[in-house]
Structure 1
Amino acid sequence: MKKFLALILTVVMMVTISACGTTKESSGADKNRKFETATKEVTDKATVYPLTVKDATGAELTFDKAPERIVSTSPSETEILFALGLGDKIFGVSDYDDYPKEAAAKPKVGGVTKPNEEAIMAANPDLVIGGISMKDDIAEKFRGLDLKVYKTEPKKLEDILNNIIQIGIITDTQEKAEELVAQMKEDIRTVTEAAATIKEEDKKKVYIEFSPGWTVGKGEFMDELITMAGGVNIASDMKGWNAINEEKIIQDNPDVILYSANVVDDKSGKPLEELIKSRSGWDKITAIQEGHLTGIEGNIMSRPGPRITDALKQIAEAIYPESFQK
């Protein structure tokens, strides 16, 4: 449980998602201007090399050809790479990479914050991708070792979509990237259009506990996912990640409770759902009285990658099962 909480806090502490991606597709040249990264246009979905891009740190990287040996130090970016069909070009992943199952079999290169430089060097990569948890100074240190480091730092849902497109451009898999983004945008459209039909007075109050004793307020993407699904996060009067106030939650009386599935509390040894139900006075909460508790896989909710819209759909289904049916 401690490892789970540490990873969740590490991966998402700096992530805020405040807007969904536009549903209008643009040309390759438009994408380059919008993302302010690629300085070469993409023609007929094939990347033109040499290609110069700028990452989240402002560093410029030039690729003479599509990378053949990639190391990813971030579970989210690893998921993107696999989704783009680049599994055979991945020669190292972080210790936390576990999806898809093929990722678990890849050589490990350490943690997401400070990866093991010896392990990365041994992989002889021509591209190292760092996620939001990699500090800028670590990225610079690796660049000083002649490693080509591309760091992402998505702060909203649109950033995630843009990252997928940009990684597709770098790796000459733009067509696959655009297909993936189109599907994600369709998920967003489906949810937001249905949510728009919910009257303000009918919106349900939602409480989310992503780890025992912790909830999330404004400025983080879990809050935005609840809002996009048409719910009202009872912790939206706070910002960021917060230890819970049990009495306040009773007073707020949520209609729906969401929690990370398959999580066990270190102190009590209880599964998170059981812990929530057993708290003093919580039996008075509407969500518990009516059995409106839903567990969602923590990694899907916490990783800013291809499955983030799966989390959106699951959250929508949990809040309004009558409107969002599988």
Structure 2
Amino acid sequence: MKKLSMLLLASALALSLAACGQGKQTGGVKEPAQAQQGDTGKAPQATSKKTTYPLTLKDSSGKEFTFAKAPERIVSLSPTETEVLFAIGLGDKIVGVSDLDDYPAEAKSKPKMGNLQGNPEAIIAANPDIVFAGLSLNKNSVTKLNELKLNLFQTNPKTIDEAIDRVLLLGVITDKQDQAEQVAGQMKKEKQQVVDALKGLKPEQKKKVYIEFSPGWTVGKGEYLDDMIAIAGGVNVASDLQGWKQISEEKVIQANPDVIFFAKGVPNLEKTIRERSGWDKIAAIQGGKVVGLDDNLMSRPGPRITKALVDMAKALYPELVK
């Protein structure tokens, strides 16, 4: 439970600069001029977007950064950030990852920087230009890394759109805008696939959903998993709670969800759910709608989170989402 809870709580995400409205920005996107059309008759070709430096912006903690150039040496203390960085072509710039980073496969061979709270000695030895982490990093770790003059950039996505925006933001910071836009474009496409498939769904047709990522723990409003449930056409039965919370068995029975999602990598979690006293009367269990979701997709609001969204929507409405 601790590992998965840490992953979920450590899920990283900076808001896009426009969307989050945080702080100022100097530098940024440089739109290159179109190539001139010559006598060959070929259409003009646009060159790649480039980030102009110095670039000044704030992270999700409110701390202001000024990047003089694209980071050359990157440490990631979050599996989510690591997935984003690899996805936008920065694998060769990553000099350290957390002990929990396992995707893509190349991440496993990177030097380990400790758990999700980081090992200051290992991080110092890696000599990074920037350290990416989630807001769940404890205060002692933040203080220590700041005292060591390490550039700690924290992120904290709360919605699917913010997860997409974070990809774009890291692309701007690292001068990988074209690659980031490709990744973000695929994420937007997968999200839109779900939105389009469910556009005719009426409020009274929406199914009640309960999600459990470790025994007795669920998620309420204000987090990306709650946003996922809503986009997938579900109604979160724990939406009266805020954030990651423990929930009583009686409350779930009373809510009577139509579908129960669980983290399928947690040992015996499905068995635990099915064997709880009184839960055999819940519609989801009676109807055979207890569905396991991939732990990593579920716990990391990175490039693959919209694939988890599609999986969730298919489980809820297989007749609509193909």
8 Å contact from structure 1 (residues 15, 221) kept in 2: no
Post-superposition offset of 1:214: 1.4
Structure 2, unpaired ranges of 5+: 33-48
Alignment of 1:1-326 (within 5 A): 1-5=1-5, 7-8=6-7, 10-11=9-10, 36=23, 38-43=25-30, 44=32, 45-113=49-117, 115-135=118-138, 138-264=141-267, 271-325=268-322
Q: Secondary structure at 1:175's aligned position in 2?
A: helix
Which of 96-105 and 158-167 deviates more?
158-167
Amino acid at match of 1:276: I
Matches of 1:2 and 1:60, distance apart in 2: 31
8 Å contact from structure 2 (residues 187, 303) kept in 1: yes
Matches of 2:9 and 2:19, distance apart in 1: 30
Post-superposition offset of 1:90: 0.5
Amino acid at match of 2:208: K
**Pair 1:240–1:149, CA change in 2 (3 A):** closer
Amino acid at match of 1:293: V
TM-score (norm 1): 0.85
Q: Deviations over 1:259-283 (max 9, x none)?
A: 101211xxxxxx1112211222222
**Pair 1:186–1:136, CA change in 2 (3 A):** farther
8 Å contact from structure 1 (residues 71, 91) kept in 2: yes
**Pair 1:32–1:40, CA change in 2 (3 A):** farther
8 Å contact from structure 1 (residues 139, 151) kept in 2: no
8 Å contact from structure 1 (residues 94, 110) kept in 2: yes
Post-superposition offset of 1:97: 1.0
Amino acid at match of 1:41: G
TM-score (norm 2): 0.86
Work out the number of aligned pairs and report it: 305
Q: Secondary structure at 1:49's aligned position in 2?
A: strand
**Pair 1:16–1:223, CA change in 2 (3 A):** farther
Post-superposition offset of 1:60: 2.8
Q: Secondary structure at 2:66's aligned position in 1?
A: strand
**Pair 1:71–1:199, CA change in 2 (3 A):** same
Matches of 2:255 and 2:308, distance apart in 1: 24
8 Å contact from structure 2 (residues 101, 107) kept in 1: yes
Q: Deviations over 1:284-311 (max 9, x none)?
A: 2221122112100122112222122122
Matches of 2:55 and 2:14, distance apart in 1: 29
8 Å contact from structure 2 (residues 13, 163) kept in 1: no
Which of 67-76 and 157-166 deviates more?
157-166
**Pair 1:163–1:141, CA change in 2 (3 A):** same
8 Å contact from structure 2 (residues 96, 126) kept in 1: yes
- The sequence identity of aligned pairs, in percent, is 52
8 Å contact from structure 1 (residues 37, 55) kept in 2: no
Post-superposition offset of 1:227: 1.0
**Pair 1:230–1:166, CA change in 2 (3 A):** same
Matches of 2:237 and 2:4, distance apart in 1: 24
Q: Secondary structure at 2:209's aligned position in 1?
A: strand
**Pair 1:172–1:203, CA change in 2 (3 A):** same
**Pair 1:85–1:277, CA change in 2 (3 A):** same
Structure 1, unpaired ranges of 5+: 22-29, 265-270
Amino acid at match of 1:4: L
Post-superposition offset of 1:138: 3.6
Q: Deviations over 1:50-97 (max 9, x none)?
A: 333322233332333221111111111111100111111111011111
Root mean square deviation of aligned Cα: 2.6
Post-superposition offset of 1:318: 1.1
Amino acid at match of 1:189: Q
